[in-house]
Amino acid sequence: MNGRGDDSSEGFASIDAIVAMLVLAVTVALALQASAMARQLSHRAVATRQAGLLLNQLLADPRPTEPLVEGATDRHRWRLERRLAGMAADERAPRLCEWRAVVTDRRSGLAYQSRVMDLCQAAESDEP
């Protein structure tokens, strides 16, 4: 038995260690990427939830009497507009108003919107 057997086994051990470190590095890189993606999805879910709550609040009663109202929060810009929907056959008949709310996330630029049809109040249906 010469010293060659020992040298070759040390070479295999070095290659095994390198492969193990490579596998570990790839695993850590994939875990970090998955963590960043999960964090991004979490932020988007929070933004969507906040936008949905703001949409519901904007379309809840009482609604403003102006046909267009705009505003902003620390994270969103919003717009609430009212339009008459259709013509009434009888002037005394109630008319339908379409309420449209648009909420835009300032960071991502994503826009969320919702619409509601409702009976117009007397002052609202006098619009041209």
% of the chain exceeding 70 in pLDDT: 84
Q: What pLDDT does 118 receive?
A: 86
- pTM score > 0.85 for this model? no
**pLDDT tens across 33-88, in order?**
999 999 999 999 999 999 999 999 999 878 888 899 999 999 999 999 999 887 66
Average pLDDT, the chain: 85
Residues 6+ apart with CB under 8 A from 100: 80, 81, 82, 83, 113, 114, 115
* pLDDT score, position 71: 94
**Mean pLDDT, to the nearest integer, of 22-40?**
96
Please say whether the beta carbons of 59 and 101 come within 8 A.
Answer: yes
Residues 96, 115: contact at Cβ < 8 Å?
no
Place of tokens 């390198």: 18
